[in-house]
Amino acid sequence: MTTRSPLRIEPTTPPDESPPMRPSDPLPALPPPKPDPATVPDPVISARSLCVWYGSSMALKNVDIDIPRHKITALIGPSGCGKSTLLRCFNRMNDLIPGARMEGTIKFEGIELADPSIDAVALRRRVGMVFQKPNPFPKSIYQNVAWGARINGYKGDMDELVEKSLRRAALWEEVRGKLHKSGLDLSGGQQQRLCIARTLAVEPEIILMDEPCSALDPIATAKVEDLMDELKEDYTIVIVTHNMQQARRTSDMTACLMLDEAAVQGGHRTGVIAEFSPTEKLFTNPSDPRTEAYITGRIG
Amino acid sequence: MSVVESDNYEPERRARRLAGPLFGAACLLATLTGVVVLSVVLGAVAAAALGHGSQHPWYAIGPNAWKLGRFLVSLTQKFSEDAGFRAGVYGSLWLLALTVLFAVPTGVGAAVFLEEFTPPGRLRRAIQMNIANLAGVPSIVYGILGLALFVRAFGFESFALGRSLWAGALTLALLVLPVIVLATQEALRSVPSSLRHAALALGASRWETVRDHVLPMAVPGILTGTILAVSRAIGETAPVLMVGAAGSIDWIPNGPGDRYTALPVEIYNYAKEPGVEFQSVAAGGILLLLVILLTMNSIAIVIRNKYRVPTR
Ligand SMILES: Nc1ncnc2c1ncn2[C@@H]1O[C@H](COP(=O)(O)OP(=O)(O)OP(=O)(O)O)[C@@H](O)[C@H]1O
Ligand SMILES: [Mg+2]
């Protein structure tokens, strides 16, 4: 990251600091300080004042984040601060949780994701997801990769797509001879790469990864990380991780989420974005004291 | 190796050590009750069937074995020598097939709707409670319902099905429906949600997810529940009597619109006969029914093992 200061967000600023404009007011001399459209040039996802509730408890408050195109964005923060929740907003997987609802705006290529009436099924092909626990289908390796493409109406050569996806997921060499064996016969790390291959086969624009390496050993982790590095040429990746080194190694931008102090006082657990900066800056020179405390291991 | 004694704990508690084996013995006794009673009943039935009254002991199968075969072939029951169950066996198999045809698609469909498409809430709870209650309604009540609804169509002659196989099968289908719904729901619930999430995250619709992943994985559970429910229904006497299975007919139904009789109904009729010979005939019918039911249960087990999806 070359330009530092324009990329910085100050999310700790309360959003309603500037009084609302009334029509009778003269034109203000300065544009409102937030949101700053120049934060990330050409973001692929852009969330503003995003709040998420589970039933009556607020899980995320006033999240502003821009996901840069063809980069890796890491989400870090202590357990329960809403990283997975934020990730699931991007492909509307929160719809599957009864009682979950969101407010605010999330724009993805001109689509308003917070609009309840959008077609979540169509969206999820474009915004793929890899889960924390490898969850291949109890079917053959071939079927695991081909199924998503088939139901989405893939018209090309399926064998070719399966091979291409498995190659991209760095799994082809290990499974080429046993494509018709069960996907559950693979090791955990292989299964996770199979899940990545399955996601790549539907050619999404964004890949959301929720702690994809937490069940893997360091060798498999390294493979997945190499893979992410290669994939970012063509894809935008958002990864949740508890591993600071991993965030630092792999990502271009990092968002550090924290529990809102005021909410904790009131007995709630509500997450806010403490800092969203280029990874290098966040880890070497964090501007938020909570972020600094978290990455140096003093809290969380 | 001696354990250091601590004052905080009682030194030794023999009662505690005895409790385990005592409880185990009690459970064994409970198990034996079922097994022993069942064996005695089966033995008595077999004795009655094969022993021809009290002339021969029940284990003297040899001279009586041919009678078992004749149960299947003879239609008329005027003389015990010719008494048979062919019409009942055919009727019961017809009932079985038609009941499965009506009850399985409806029951599985209802369960899929409730589990996969209805958000948890008041509506789902209300339907759920209804179904659970329906499963406990006595079978004779379904018989009365079937009589009014299917046999007579509340007096609308043109819709009445009469005492046909249709009416009998629809009544039995109603009887097993709640059980099938509950068994299917249970099977669907045991499919891990991570599988659904995996499919949905690829851009699959709910229907595609259910069709290709959830239902195949639930098949063993659905089949087991269904076969057990249906074999229960095939043994039912009261509702079939109610909707008009004939006590004694000497023809075999050729189609679902025909009149019929069912195996349990025939057994009941033979058992009512005063002649001593008919008692062994009735017992033979029970053996026949048991063979059919046990065959169905074994099929359930085989299918379940065959379809078992590896989950590792
Ligand atoms: N399905 C749910 N129903 C109700 N509340 C939920 C649900 N999922 C998450 N929450 C709540 O939302 C908050 C954020 O949860 P989330 O899973 O997003 O945290 P996280 O940052 O991913 O944590 P972790 O690092 O442990 O995975 C938590 O307080 C949690 O209790
Ligand atoms: Mg999480």
Ligand 1 pocket, residue A204 CB under 6 Å: no
- Within 13 Å of residue B236, how many CA atoms lie on the same side as its CB? 31
Q: Give the model's pLDDT for residue B89.
A: 84
Residue B79's pLDDT is 55
Whether residue A152 and residue B199 make contact (CB cut-off 8 A), yes or no, is no
A29 belongs to a structural domain: no
What spacing in Å lies between the alpha carbon of B121 and ligand 1's midpoint? 22
Instruction: Quote the pLDDT of residue B104.
Output: 93
3-class SS of residue A278: strand
Q: Whose CA is nearest to atom 14 of ligand 1?
A: A82
Average pLDDT, chain B: 82
Q: Which of B119, B200, B310 sits opposite A124 (nearest CB)?
A: B200
Question: What is the number of domains present in chain A?
Answer: 1
Structural domain contains residue A13: no
Q: What is the mean pLDDT of residues B147-163?
A: 81
Nearest one of A94, A46, A90, A96 to A66, comparing CA atoms:
A46
pLDDT at B55 > cutoff 80: no
Residue A284: CB within 6 Å of ligand 1?
no
Kindly state the average pLDDT of the residues A35-48: 72
**pLDDT score at B218:** 92
| CA–CA dist B208, A138 (Å, integer) | 15
Taking a C-beta distance cutoff of 8 angstroms, is the pair A224, A237 a contact? no
List of chain A residues whose C-beta atoms are within 8 Å of the C-beta of residue B210: none
pLDDT (mean) for B133-155:
88
The pLDDT assigned to B307 comes to 72
Residues of B in contact with A121 (CB under 8 A): 200, 203-205
d(CA B236, CA B228): 13
* Residue A214 pLDDT greater than 50, yes or no: yes
Contacts of A72 (CB under 8 A, 6+ apart): A228, A229, A232, A237, A238, A239, A250, A251, A252, A253
pLDDT at site A10: 44
Fill in the amino acid letter for B14: R
Look at residue B176 in the predicted model and tell me its pLDDT.
Answer: 94
- Residues sharing a CB contact under 8 Å with residue B142, sequence separation 6 or more, in sequence order: B171, B172, B174, B175, B239
Nearest to B195 among A96, A128, A135 (CB): A135
A87 compared with B271, residue with greater pLDDT: A87
Higher pLDDT: B234 or B68? It is: B234
Place A300 in a pLDDT band, splitting at 50, 70 and 90.
low
**Nearest residue to A12 (alpha-carbon basis) of A296, A257, A278, A299:** A257
CB spacing of A195 vs B198 below 8 angstroms: yes
Which range is most confident: A31-35, A200-204, A286-290, B53-57?
A200-204
- Work out the average pLDDT over B94-105: 92
Q: What's the A94 CA to ligand 2 centre distance in angstroms?
A: 13
Q: Taking Cα atoms as reference points, which of A277, A279, A283 lies closest to residue A295?
A: A283
The pLDDT of residue B312 is above 50: no
DSSP three-state, residue A276: strand
Residues near A137 by beta carbon (within 8 Å), at least 6 away in sequence: A143, A144, A147, A183, B195, B198, B199, B213
Q: A96 and B119 in contact by Cβ < 8 A?
A: no
**Is pLDDT of A4 > 50?**
no
The residue that leads in pLDDT, B41 or B74, is B41
Tell me which residue has its CA closest to atom 30 in ligand 1: A80
Q: What is the pLDDT of residues B238-281, one digit of tens each?
A: 888 888 776 666 667 888 888 888 888 888 887 877 766 677 77
CA B102, CA B108: separation in Å to the nearest integer? Answer: 11
- What pLDDT is stored for residue B71 in this prediction? 59
Mutate to test the pocket of ligand 1, among A81, A101, A211 (most ligand atoms within 8 A of CB): A81
Q: What is the DSSP letter of A110?
A: T
Select from 1.10.3720.10, 3.40.50.2000, 3.40.50.300, 3.40.50.150 the CATH code of B80-307: 1.10.3720.10
Compare CB distances from A124 to B119, B202, B311 and report the shortest one's residue.
Answer: B202
**Cα atoms in the 13 Å half-sphere on the side-chain side of B262:** 27
Nearest CA to ligand 1 atom 12: A59
Domain housing A69: 43-295
Across chain A, mean pLDDT equals: 84
Q: Would the CB atoms of B200 and A148 count as touching at under 8 Å?
A: no
Please tell me the distance between residue B224's alpha carbon and the centre of ligand 1 in angstroms: 37
pLDDT at A35: 40
pLDDT of A32 > 60? The answer is no
DSSP state of A94: G
Angle formed at CA A163 by CA A123 and CA B208, multiple of 5 degrees: 40
Task: Render the burial of A257-296: b for 16+ CB within 10 Å, e for the rest.
Answer: bbbbeebeeeeeebbbbbbbbbbebbbeebebebbbebbe
* Res B65: pLDDT: 47
Verify whether the Cβ–Cβ distance A98 to B208 is below 8 Å: no
8 Å CB contact between A67 and A86: no
What's the pLDDT score for residue B67? Answer: 53
Residues of chain B with Cβ-Cβ distance to A123 below 8 Å are 203
Residue B195 pLDDT exceeds 90:
yes
Contact between chains at A96 and B200 (C-beta distance less than 8 A): yes
Structural domain includes residue A15: no
Q: Give mean pLDDT, residues B227-238.
A: 87
Q: Measure CB to CB from residue A184 to each of B121, B203, B310 and give the nearest one.
A: B310
Answer yes or no: do A129 and B310 touch at CB < 8 A: no
Give the per-residue pLDDT at A67: 92
Atom of ligand 1 nearest to the CA of A57: 5
CB A34 within 8 A of CB A63: no
Distance from CA of A8 to the nearest CA of B (A): 32
A267: three-class secondary structure by DSSP: coil
| A145 domain-assigned | yes
Mutate to test the pocket of ligand 1, among A83, A210, A239, A258 (most ligand atoms within 8 A of CB): A83
pLDDT band at A16 (very low <50, low <70, confident <90, very high): very low
Tens of pLDDT, residue by residue over A153-171, are: 999 999 999 999 999 888 9
Q: Where are the alpha helices (DSSP H) in chain B?
A: 14-51, 61-73, 86-112, 122-134, 139-146, 165-189, 193-201, 206-209, 215-234, 238-242, 263-272, 276-307
DSSP state of B27: H
> Would residue A8 count as lying in a domain?
no
Residue A85 in contact with ligand 1 by CB distance below 6 A: yes
Give the residue whose CA is nearest to atom 3 of ligand 1: A54
Which residue of chain A has the CA closest to B119?
A: A98
| Torsion sign, CA atoms A87, A93, A95, A100 | negative
- Chain segment A272-285, per-residue pLDDT in tens: 998 898 998 899 98
Residue type, A21: M
Give DSSP secondary structure letters for B118-183: SPSSHHHHHHHHHHHHHTTS-HHHHHHHHIIIIISGGG-TTT---SSHHHHHHHHHHHHHHHHHHH
Q: What is the mean pLDDT of residues B298-307?
A: 81
Out of B58-62, B127-131, B185-189, least confident range: B58-62
Tell me whether residue A112 is in a domain. yes
DSSP letter at A250 equals H
Contact list in A for residue B208 (CB cut-off 8 A) is 151
Q: Three-state SS for A255?
A: strand
Residues of chain A in contact with residue B310, where contact means CB-CB under 8 angstroms, are: 138, 182, 184
- Nearest bound ligand to the CA of residue A98: 1
Identify which of B45, B42, B49, B60 has the alpha carbon closest to the alpha carbon of residue B278: B49
Please give the distance of CA A170 from its chain centroid, rounded to a whole number.
22
Identify whether A34 is part of a domain.
no
Atom of ligand 1 nearest to the CA of A81: 21
* Cβ atoms of A39 and A244 closer than 8 Å: no
Q: How far, in Å, is the centroid of ligand 2 from the Cα of A42?
A: 27
Is-cis flag, bond preceding A33, omega within 30?
no
Q: What percent of chain B has pLDDT over 70?
A: 83
Q: What is the mean pLDDT of residues A24-48?
A: 61
Q: How far does the CA of residue B100 sit from the closest CA of chain A (Å)?
A: 28
CATH of the domain at A109: 3.40.50.300
Over range A105-125, report the average pLDDT: 89
The sign of the dihedral angle between the CA atoms of A265, A271, A277, A278 is: positive
Residue A18 pLDDT exceeds 80: no
Pure H helices in chain A:
83-90, 120-126, 141-151, 158-168, 172-175, 188-201, 218-231, 244-250, 261-265, 279-284, 289-295
CB atoms A137 and B203 under 8 Å: no
Residue B70 confidence (pLDDT): 57
- Helix, strand, or coil (residue A236): strand
Q: What is the rounded CA–CA span in Å between residue A107 and residue A90?
A: 9
ipTM of the complex: 0.82
A64 φ, ψ to 5°?
-120, 120
Asked if the structure places residue A18 within a domain, the reply is no
Q: Compute CA distances B25 → B19, B21, B32, B253, whole Å.
A: 10, 6, 10, 52
Instruction: Quote the ligand 1 centre to A82 CA distance (angstroms).
Output: 6
Q: Is the CB of A80 under 6 A from ligand 1?
A: yes
Using the structure block, give the residue that is written with the tokens 């890491």: A74
pLDDT at B40 over 80: yes
Higher-confidence residue: A33 or B234? B234
Indicate whether residue A299 lines ligand 1 (CB < 6 A): no
**A220-248 per-position pLDDT tens digit:** 888 889 989 988 889 999 999 999 999 99
At A136 the pLDDT is 94
Q: Which of A3-12, A104-113, B17-26, B248-257 has the lowest mean pLDDT?
A: A3-12
pLDDT at A8: 43
Q: Do A135 and B194 touch (CB under 8 A)?
A: yes
**Would you call B297 helix, strand, or coil by DSSP?**
helix
Cβ neighbours of A36 (radius 10 Å): 16
Q: Report CA dihedral (A86, A92, A93, A95) to the nearest 10 degrees.
A: 110
Q: What percentage of chain A exceeds 90 in pLDDT? A: 51
CB B87 within 8 A of CB B157: no
Q: Does the C-beta of A40 come closer than 6 Å to ligand 1? A: no
Q: How confident is the model at residue B73 (pLDDT cuts 50, 70, 90)?
A: low
Minimum CA–CA partner of A144 in chain B: B199
